Structure 1
Amino acid sequence: MLGTGELIVILCIVLLLFGGKKLPEVAKSLGQGIREFKKAAAGEDSSSGSCGGDCSSCPNKEPPTKE
């Protein structure tokens, strides 16, 4: 496990690489990636329906409409 000193060094390096303005965007995309990975590992499907979003193989479903 990383100690406090190592975490501070890593955060400083990340701040230098990405800059203060880009850092929130990087953190947000990293969080979304981790969330998607956990969903996939748990076996949850983010698309609607059991056909995976391909409604041509589902006779009772209408294709999704864009609003």
Structure 2
Amino acid sequence: MQNLGWQEILLILIIILLLFGAKRLPELAKGLGKSMKEFKKATQEAESTFKQALEEEDNKQQSARRENPAPRPVETPKAPESSETTSSETTQR
């Protein structure tokens, strides 16, 4: 979608002026401003609620990790290394 140039914006404003008249334009602009303000406020509220829910979920996960830490891997004992004397003794028997 292309950006609007100054000619297109001027044409739109003239059409709006013809449709609504000069007396109603300030009322329309005021209503539009209030609507935009309410929309921004609602958007910020939704965003803060979403962030708060994410933080609560992270806190729950962190507290669950603290209460139930992951089990540590079990180390198996290493077998004694066979020496040459042991292997030579076994062959003589």
- Quickly name the TM-score band, shorter chain normalised: 0.5 to 0.7
Once the two structures are superposed, residues 7-29 of structure 1 have per-residue CA deviations (whole angstroms, 9 ceiling, x without a partner) of 00000000011100000000000
Q: Runs of 5+ in structure 2 lacking a partner?
A: 47-93
Cα drift, residue 39 of structure 1:
0.4
Per the alignment, residue 23 of structure 1 pairs with 25
Name the count of aligned residue pairs.
44
Alpha-carbon distance in 2 for matches of 1:2, 1:43: 31
Alpha-carbon distance in 2 for matches of 1:19, 1:35: 25
Give TM-score, length-normalised by structure 2. Answer: 0.46
Once the two structures are superposed, residues 35-55 of structure 1 have per-residue CA deviations (whole angstroms, 9 ceiling, x without a partner) of 0000000117xxxxxxxxxxx
Runs of 4+ in 1 over 3 A off after TM superposition: none
Query: 2:4 is aligned with what amino acid?
Result: L
Q: Which structure would you say has the larger RCO, counting Cα contacts within 8 Å and 6 or more residues apart? A: 1
Let me know the Cα RMSD of the aligned residues.
1.1
- Percentage of identical aligned residues: 55
Per the alignment, residue 40 of structure 2 pairs with 38
